[in-house]
Chain A
């Protein structure tokens, strides 16, 4: 919200630099975003063009001698078509700063020019601030001003405009009066309201001109209306246009300007109806009929629903209550009679309607934040007073005012002691009383009790806690002491889930991975690209109703697409390799109205230098080993992996699915724009955590020697080396200390479709030196198991 300083100073006294004013407002709770001067230029003065000759080397430029109040005329080259001798102009002197840049002395086609004659746009002066300063060329000043007079004075510019950010609890400050009142309290000055008085010089009474019917008093708690006849539409006076300009509003005409002016000054949005366009002269405030159609002021057509509050005449909706008027009853140049509306509309309905229709106006913004019904009449009276002041119509005696349930006077009893305990600052009860009185909160002290009567516009003050804030902010937040908590000492700690997730990240970082963080929502098309089978739960994610765009419209059911995007980004930016890990939840929908199941996955991704299936497998196995686990690895996995290079990882004999990993399928690579082979592993962190084995007792160091035997086995090509190794481990018995693969051989001598796999098997006993007989027995068991289950034979 922008307010010119001059406007505030009509109602209170702010006699200080904007910096100091801003600081004091900020430290008492009114955020000041900044300030700027309404003049967007400096060093521009009135000039009189004494002579105006054609430029010797141009068919459109003129060379002028301009009197700017100095000893000598300035020579200025001007290209405007409307420049001529004898006119008064706005002359930017050398060094002047304009929105477009700084004016320097220079030569234009060989002729020296010592300044610039300015147009409206060049000074950022809109034509509603100085009529006819826009289109025809340079501004020609119509009144008689002395050359050398600063131009900013003529346009009423040069005032500081303060920009406030009004917090949601203080809608009363969304107005000049509100800010002036707050400033007065903060600065210890007085807030002086204008005396509101006007003569009702029209004929008849309100009822002679219009009927108003309020059908929904819940969403329209108060409705005030007044009739103006013999309206003379025209421009509003200069001072009003200047204030509106400073506050960031366009001047339209006197009647519309009055409504906007009153809204800015009092915080009450107003509406002006052209009474001749209101059918049967009847205004009805009601809910829209389902499907009713309304064309608003901005020319847009809206289909309304039954929960939207509208202003209607006897036949149909003519405006959206508190949001935007209808095109039909707009004020036009020949409007003769006006109905001024100043009402209070309930903020909830207003907000929902504005949202649904995608409209946001100054008016709807205020109603959403809450407009105080109590002061509607005052605002409407202020508008009438301005009508009289601007002499733009006759005010018909009598006001329509429907306010069936006036808000009761709010009285709060607060304990001064409890306030002191809450804010931790030792403010005396008497000081509290003074502070509250200064905020127009009528306060009487009865021992420890403060009896506070809250002014109606302070809708935010509801209880003792609010009173404590009022006291503290005016007393000064810088008085809050720094004390330490007393009471029970509590142990601080992290929960297991956090430590577990961080443990995975830290471990993977140790293995050379960088932690990635991706958005939790994705595009459904990315899930499509994974070619998951029909009915796969991952294809039905949690859907966001109002996403920013398709790319952020559903919650992740898998971390794979975002990982592939991250890998693609790195590849396409020319990074020659990357290893990434992300630990984050996936979201699986449950029933209607239920929260989704949320649990963490770890996803690893790699490409480039040293990346292949086995490097990734090694990382996965190392991670599992950290938790005392060695998952079973079997060929298989989802279709977005390379069919020959993918594996599923299971625990507890296959009963717990831990995850899967593999090289990404070349076709999926294409869909994700991955120019290189990429490798991805997905680990269900919930499963990992459930199965993780705590490290218990460790084994003593062995006292007896180990014995190793090498064993080369010939098997069919489709028998996995890991499968064979696991079979050996299972068959080898307790004496087996380790099985290590050292060679895989394929050759003609073995025959087609055969391979030889060689292992070193180490045996050891903790309590004696092993005999040949014991080892032979173990080897026999191994051989018979692998030949029976996997068709393995000893290599000849």
Chain B
């Protein structure tokens, strides 16, 4: 009897070693351990065995069952592992397969630059304000100290709607609107589209964007203007970038200054972009002309202020090396696609 049990165990264990799939394993389990299986057969035939031998045989059978069950559990684990491996192998994909590498859509370069400028100036305590693009001559010119037939009007070839209404030639009328309606202290940036009668070509556009700043308070000096623009320059192009002031003329400021920034491309060493000067002309600025303050109803004895303005296209063209202004307004997606939100 013992031999018979040993033979069942030996055969089952040896088969279990080579079993490879769960169905074969199940077959073995049913054949050996099932209700009608080989070990149950032994127990069922106990009737023919002497009574004193029965406990002994029973313990042999139990021992064999235990051995086989353990072996089955081991085999099951091995098979599960193998099957998992097979599945994982089957699910392998080509991770090098090219995919869509960027999402479609982007802001226009003008918006990208304006956003940057807004961040810088709102961070410095400036409030961003807007005004109409079709504007009264009074705000666009007269309150900016550019009376009728002043030669400075030539520099800003103007589109007229009627004798008193123009397409604004700069964003300064927004400043005039603020100065005539608010009391100092004033600290604003105005921005938006402006219009000048220049034929569109690689370097001109009859529609372009400006951003202007205005500060009016007691004891504002040209040094404060320089400090503000130095901070702006650093935030725009990074540490080490500074400003250079050159005397200039604008009817609404006195003294006036053209402001150059250290060329961001060469850091002032001189390159093709800055024509080897190390400087890039970016801004016009100055101390608000007392006449402008007075015309706008602000006491020029008590208050002083500074103003500055820049062309946004100039900054975007420098930043993105755009060499033809017309690209900005024809909206070819091959151009627009190159920008990132």
Contact B221 A509 (CB under 8 A): no
Is B332 a contact of A570 with CB atoms below 8 Å?
yes
Whether B151 contacts A370 by the Cβ 8 Å rule is yes
For A347, list chain B residues within 8 Å (CB).
149, 151
Query: Which residues of chain B have C-beta atoms less than 8 A from A492's C-beta?
Result: 121-128, 187
A480 touches B160 (CB 8 A): no
Give the nearest-CB partner of A486 in chain B. B219
Residue in B closest to A466 when the chains form the complex, CB atoms? B254
The reply to whether A493 and B332 contact each other, CB–CB distance below 8 Å, is: no
> Which residues of the other chain, A, contact B287 by a CB distance below 8 angstroms?
422-423, 465, 468
A478-497 CB mask vs B (1 if < 8 Å, else 0) is 10111111111111111101
What residue of chain A has the Cβ atom nearest to residue B146's Cβ? A168
> Given A485-B215, A517-B328, A544-B160: A469 and B255 within 8 A (CB)?
yes
**Known interface pairs A424-B222, A520-B133. Does A468 touch B255 (Cβ–Cβ under 8 Å)?**
yes
Contact of B105 among A487, A508, A573 (CB under 8 A): A508
A488 adjacent to B108 (CB under 8 Å) = no
* CB–CB B167/A505 < 8 A: no
Residue of A nearest to B153 (CB): A351
B330 touches A (CB below 8 Å): yes
* Complex interface residues of chain B between 185 and 225 (CB less than 8 A to chain A): 185, 187, 193, 195, 197-199, 206-207, 215, 217-225
Asked if B175 CB lies within 8 Å of chain A CBs, one says no
Q: A369-B151, A555-B134 are in contact. Are A485 and B228 (CB under 8 A)?
A: yes
The reply to whether the CB of B161 lies closer than 8 angstroms to some CB of chain A is: yes
**Cβ of A170 to closest chain B Cβ, rounded Å:** 7
1/0 contact string of A520-562 vs chain B (CB within 8 Å): 1100000000000000000000111111100010010000000
Interface contact B159-A544, CB-CB below 8 Å: yes
Separation of A573 and B332 alpha carbons in the complex (Å): 8
Tell me the chain B residues, 240-283 only, with Cβ under 8 Å from chain A.
Answer: 244-249, 251, 254-257
With the chains together, A421 CA to B220 CA distance in Å?
Answer: 8
| A569-B330 contact, Cβ under 8 Å, with A168-B155, A424-B224, A520-B193 | yes
A16 to B111, CA, bound (A): 47
B161's contact among A472, A545, A598, by CB below 8 Å, is which?
A: A545
| A442-489 with Cβ < 8 A to chain B | 463-466, 468-469, 472-473, 477-478, 480-489
Asked whether, in the complex, the Cβ of B331 is within 8 Å of the Cβ of A566, the reply is: yes
- Least CB separation from A519: chain B residue: B207
When the two chains form their complex, are residues B128 and A494 in contact, meaning their CB atoms are under 8 A apart? Answer: yes
Which of B3-11, B36-44, B80-88, B333-341 has 4 or more CB atoms under 8 Å from chain A? B333-341
Given contacts A168-B151, A487-B217, A493-B122, contact A579 B254 (CB under 8 A): no
Chain A, 417-437, contact with B by CB distance < 8 Å: what is the 0/1 string? 000011111000000000000
Given A490-B127, A512-B105, A566-B330, A167 contacting B248 (CB threshold 8 A): yes
For the complex, is A101 an interface residue (Cβ under 8 Å from B)? no
In the assembled complex, A673 has its CB within 8 A of some CB on chain B: no
B161 adjacent to A544 (CB under 8 Å): yes
Residues in B with CB closer than 8 Å to A216 are none
**Complex: A31 Cα to B248 Cα, angstroms:** 8
Is A510 part of the binding interface, using a Cβ–Cβ cutoff of 8 Å? yes
> Does A493 lie within 8 Å of B219, measured CB to CB?
no
Inter-chain contact A28/B223, CB cutoff 8 Å: no
Residues facing B in A497-523 (CB within 8 A) are 497-498, 502, 505-506, 508-521
A686 to B29, CA, bound (A): 77
Q: A480-B222, A485-B215, A516-B331 are in contact. Are A545 and B160 (CB under 8 A)?
A: yes
Given A424-B222, A512-B103, A490-B185 contact (CB < 8 Å) = yes
Interface string of B276-310 (1 = CB under 8 A from A): 00000000000101110000000000001000000
In the assembled complex, which residues on chain A have CB atoms less than 8 Å from the CB atom of B160? Answer: 544-546
Nearest chain-B residue to A511 (Cβ)? B105
Q: Quick check: B249 and A170 within 8 Å, CB to CB?
A: yes
Cβ contact within 8 Å between A518 and B247: no
**In the assembled complex, B113 has its CB within 8 A of some CB on chain A:** no
Q: Which of A509, A510, A555, A585 has the most CB of B within 10 A?
A: A509
**Is B329's CB under 8 angstroms from A518's CB?**
yes
Nearest A residue to B341 by beta-carbon distance? A509
> Closest approach, in angstroms, between the C-beta of A163 and any C-beta of chain B?
16
Question: Quick check: is B79 within 8 A (CB to CB) of the other chain?
Answer: no
Q: Is the CB of A477 within 8 A of B107?
A: no
Quick one: given A483-B224, A495-B128, are A513 and B247 in contact (CB under 8 Å)? no
Determine the residue in chain A with the shortest Cβ distance to B131.
Answer: A598
Q: Write the B311-339 contact mask toward A (1 if CB under 8 angstroms, else 0).
A: 00000000000000000111111101100
With both chains docked as a complex, state the minimum distance between the C-beta of B245 and any C-beta of chain A, in angstroms.
4
- In the complex, are the beta carbons of A502 and B104 less than 8 A apart? no
B230 at the interface (CB under 8 A from A): yes
A578 to B332, CA, bound (A): 9
| Distance between A151 CB and nearest chain B CB, rounded to angstroms | 32
- The answer to the question of A69 belonging to the interface, with a C-beta cut-off of 8 Å to chain B, is no
7 closest A-B pairs by beta carbon, nearest first, are A424-B223, A29-B247, A424-B221, A469-B255, A348-B149, A492-B122, A512-B104
19 A-B contacts (beta carbon < 8 Å): A27-B247, A422-B287, A423-B221, A423-B287, A465-B289, A487-B220, A495-B127, A502-B115, A506-B341, A515-B111, A516-B331, A545-B161, A548-B198, A548-B206, A570-B331, A570-B333, A587-B134, A595-B132, A595-B165
List 8 extra interface pairs beyond A29-B249, A547-B159, A569-B330, CB under 8 A: A31-B248, A421-B304, A422-B222, A422-B287, A423-B287, A515-B336, A517-B108, A543-B161
